[in-house]
Structure 1
Amino acid sequence: MLPELGATYGVTPATAAASITSYLLPFAGLMLVSGTLGERWGRRRAVVIGYVVYAVAALAAVVAPTFELFLAARVVQGAANAFTTPLLLAAVGATAAPGRLGRALGWFGSLQSAGHTSAPLLGGLAAEVDWRWAFVGVAVSSAVLAVVGIPHTDPGPRTGLAAALRSAVRPEVLRLGLVAAVGWGLVAGLAFLVALRLEDAFAVSAGTRGLVLTALGVVGLLSARLVGGAVDRIGPRRTVLIGTALGAFVVAGAGLAPAVGLIAAIWALGGLAGQLLLVGVNSIVLAPGRENAGGAMSVVQAVRFSGMALAPAVITPIYRTDPLAAFLVPALLVAVVVPLALPRPNRPRVEDGAVAE
């Protein structure tokens, strides 16, 4: 809906893309500490408050009279959502049965993909009438989620804040965040770029753009549970590497494909690539025995969404200069950076006659 948003406020679609960055930067920045803070305050309480603030900010975006105030509402939305995602994942990890963490995260990923499936389609359809209806929809959804809440899965007594933050910000955790930022952020996170190419190269309407982008969410929705099972069988690291190869192909293919139908088919594979990358990374982060799981997940998500937040600001100028390069550069980064950044599994060692990880 970037072209329609820009038309409302009298700015270009490229400038309207700042609404993505204004949302994701506070989202990613606060997430460095939101998981740890949520573990101390209580997961359920932090998540519910986050949903309530998000709903209020969405309604503020609906009535914003200027683009600057609209961006301010997006900043508040991003800050509020920082207190939901990592704590929800930590709750999933805390309730997963032994040996079935991948499957549990696969179910979570499947439902998360349902959001990715519906958001582009509903956003595009709303833009055909008035893009503000999309924000009304997310406000209502957030209010409902605040009422539903999450199970009580809070850990036992917490250490001091400084010690808890140190336990979360470790080199391994930061590397996993980089994997998520590049691997997932430069695959599923390039939906805006695909939308721009569909409009510029093929003059595709907002509703049709939303339908094409929905393909990624549909495949992610259908494949996430199977991906979770694969994680439990072949291990999360191999799963991430498979997703990396597929993701690089998807990004390059979306820029090279000569027809809308082919772009839609290739983009759909991004749903599978994204799940392979994301479920694999989340399984590594939430492995049994992880200290301050919510904080560690919070750091990974912060780095992940920082990459996604910066993508529009960095990639859009490249696209305006050379549309093809805007796709090939991210594809190359995915193929090279993820395998180098992905931590190697700990080697088993013998301690007192027992094998320890």
Structure 2
Amino acid sequence: MLGPFASGVVASMLPELGSTFDVSQNTAANSLTAYLLPFALAMLVSGTLGERWGPMRTIRVAYAGFVVVALLAAIAPWFWLFQVSRGLQGVANAFTTPLLLTKLAAITPKERLGRTLGLYGAVQSIGQTSAPLVGGLAAESSWRWAFVGIAVVAGVLTASALPPDEVAPEQPPRLRDAWQPVVLWSGVVIFVAWACLAGLPFLVAFRVDDAFALGPGARGLVLTAFGLAGFVSARLVGAAADRFGPRVAVCLGLLLGAVTVGAIGVAGSLPLVALAWAVGGVCGQLVLVGINALVLGGGDGTGRGGAISVVTALRFLGMSASPAAFTPLYRTDPALGFLVPGALLVASTPLLAHRIFRSGTGPRARLRHSRG
């Protein structure tokens, strides 16, 4: 929960940040990118490095680092120092997310992996959904209290009991070990999914403002539907991935997500737009749980930290690319701004199905391996 919460906590305090540091709200909004970009870039290598150093040891050190840099944000007298602290928070988060996922995969029976990853996704949805609310409440008094709270939570996590590290392999994982075909093609799919689905809250906000003249509070309520639906459906989505296979879950999420995204662009009813965005949250969970299960559930566990690290990095790089890719399309034609992402979601579906079978991680490949 800590990572997505710390990432989004500034979203509702941008006016207060601008006032404190005497910068514009547009400049203050860069504090979102200041977290996400270092987070995504560090994630390209953090999983492999964490496996080398010991996953649980690395996670504990990262939590301790989170305490320090969150407190730095709380006391920063200058905006540049606040931005540095945000970047370091992202780097600290990069050394927890993939290693936690790897540990979950290691201790979970394969037949229950989807449900476990669904629970993980549900808790992340809580962090993502609650961050703007808690940040806004803190800003009523002082936005700095939000970062004090983050530091306290990170301190509790640092002191908490963690499962012990397993015996290190004789051959330490190498950075290039993570760049396998199944990892790269899974990463491409989730890059597209997060750019064209989970990365569209800004576009949905534009849409409900332009079409229905909603105020900021009502817009925020509509946007919350994505995270709430993802939270409510996460365990059910995980169970479906266990029963029908992660590849089916991902394909369903992509195809249904394409329909919901397109509907937002053409619907003339506010309840229909809100419902479509909520269904999009379920689709996001289907893609996320399915991709994570595909990457974490294959092989003997060697190099899983590096693999899931690369995939997660591409996921957030896709999200960060979404505004630049689709805002010009939306300004040209609002419907086009949603129909193009929907088409890209559809186009990525056969790519996934083809490459998973070719990469030897699909059900038939596993069957051939067991017979061998």
What TM-score do the two structures reach when normalised by structure 2?
A: 0.83
Task: Verify the 8 A CA contact 2:229 2:282 in the aligned structure 1.
Answer: yes
Structure-2 change in CA distance of 1:119 and 1:351 (3 Å):
closer
Q: CA RMSD in A?
A: 2.9
Partner of 1:31: 43
Structure 2 Cα separation of the partners of residues 135 and 350 of structure 1: 50
- Tell me the residue number matched to 2:243: 233
Which of 309, 313, 317 is equivalent to 1:302?
313
What stretches of structure 1 of length at least 5 have no aligned partner? none
Partner residue of 2:277 out of 240, 260, 267: 267
Deviation, 1:280, is 0.5
2:24 counterpart (11, 16, 23): 11
Query: Could you tell me which of 71, 78, 102 is aligned with 2:90?
Result: 78
Q: What SS class does the counterpart of residue 86 from structure 2 fall into?
A: helix
Please state if 1:108 is matched with 2:117.
Answer: no
CA contact (8 A) 1:28 1:301 kept: yes
Contact 1:120-1:214 at 8 Å conserved across structures: no
Q: Note if contact 2:62-2:96 (Cα within 8 Å) is conserved in structure 1.
A: yes
Shift, 1:299, TM fit: 1.1
Q: For residues 331 and 153 of structure 1, do their structure 2 counterparts lie closer, same or farther at Cα, with a shift above 3 Å needed?
A: farther
Residues 1:213 and 2:187 aligned together: no
Match of 2:371 in 1: 355
- Call closer, same or farther: CA 1:178–1:274 in 2, change over 3 Å: same
Matches within 5 A, 1:1-357: 2=11, 5=14, 7-8=18-19, 9-13=22-26, 15-126=27-138, 131-148=143-160, 150-154=162-166, 156-160=168-172, 164-199=174-209, 202=212, 204-288=214-298, 289-320=300-331, 322-342=333-353, 343-345=355-357, 346=360, 347-348=364-365, 355-356=371-372
Separation of aligned partners in 1, 2:49 and 2:143: 34
- Identical positions, percent: 51
Are residues 349 and 58 of structure 1, via their aligned partners in 2, closer, same or farther at CA, if it must alter by over 3 Å?
Answer: closer
Aligned equivalents of 1:241, 1:147: Cα separation in 2? 40
Spell out, residue by residue over 1:91-112, the C-alpha distance to the aligned partner (whole angstroms, 9 max, x if none).
Answer: 1101102422112212222222
Secondary structure of 2:65's aligned partner: helix
The residue identity in structure 1 corresponding to 2:130 is S
Contact 1:195 1:213 in 2 (8 A): yes
For residue 196 of structure 1, report the CA deviation from its aligned partner.
4.3
Which 5+ residue runs of structure 2 have no aligned equivalent?
A: 1-9
Any idea what SS the aligned residue of 2:371 has?
A: strand
Distance 1:255 1:110 in 2: 27
CA distance in 1 between counterparts of 2:236 and 2:37 reads: 32
Q: Distance in 2 between matches of 1:79 and 1:109?
A: 20
**Is contact 1:22–1:74 with CA below 8 Å preserved after alignment?**
yes
Q: How many correspondences in the alignment?
A: 352
CA–CA separation in structure 1 for the residues paired with 2:100 and 2:137: 29
- List per-residue Cα deviations over 1:271-313 (Å, max 9, x = no partner): 2101100110011111142421111111111111111222234
- Structure 1 counterpart SS, 2:109: coil
Relative to structure 1, is the Cα distance of residues 298 and 325 closer, same or farther in structure 2, using a 3 angstrom cutoff? same
My pick for the range that moved more, 78-87 or 264-273, is 264-273
